[in-house]
Amino acid sequence: MRMSDYNLLSADVFSKMESLEWFKGFVVHQYGDSARAARLYPKIQAVRLFDAHHQWQQDVDRVSKYELDSGTPDHYKQCGHLVYWLRRSSPVVEWVDASNNLGDAEGLPDLPEHAQMKELLLKYGNEYLAFDLGYRICRYFEVSREDNPLSEDGRLLTPDYLRTISHFLKTKNVSPHAMYLILKSLFLR
């Protein structure tokens, strides 16, 4: 598949994620894209993505059947469960630091924003990347709404918020339902 096939900016992202192969490619692409600003590249363990996918689908099916009378969970609920299982499965097992690759980055010092992101990813990589993916999917759906006053850049989060939520996700047991509420609260009008 082409990398453009893994674009999260599409209304059918959840139906595409039902396919394990698409899900794996999508998460690998999105995680790599998010970490690129820090000049880090995640090494991802496929079996952990399989586990996250399986558990996420089971939860979404259960919520649909028992909580929504066979209705489709909204993007907040689906992302709450997605963030929970990606964080819990911790698919990133190692980082490759591109700034140490003399062939690609010789003489390129880290800019302050690169250093801040690198520090965040090295300390809270799985937590940050899971949250970031869920947040970006929710933001896409909110920006796409006809009655939404948000611009494309609406509801951008501060570095302090991202450090705090990443720390919270690493050190606390945050349920999928709590994650749903956190994501939904970010877009309250």
* Average model confidence (pLDDT) across the chain: 88
pLDDT band at 70 (very low <50, low <70, confident <90, very high): confident
pLDDT in tens, 97-131: 887 655 555 445 566 667 889 999 999 999 999 99
Answer yes or no: are the C-beta atoms of 67 and 81 closer than 8 Å. Answer: no
Over pLDDT 90: what percentage of the chain? Answer: 66
Closest CA to 52 of 121, 133, 120: 133
More confident: 6 or 71 = 71
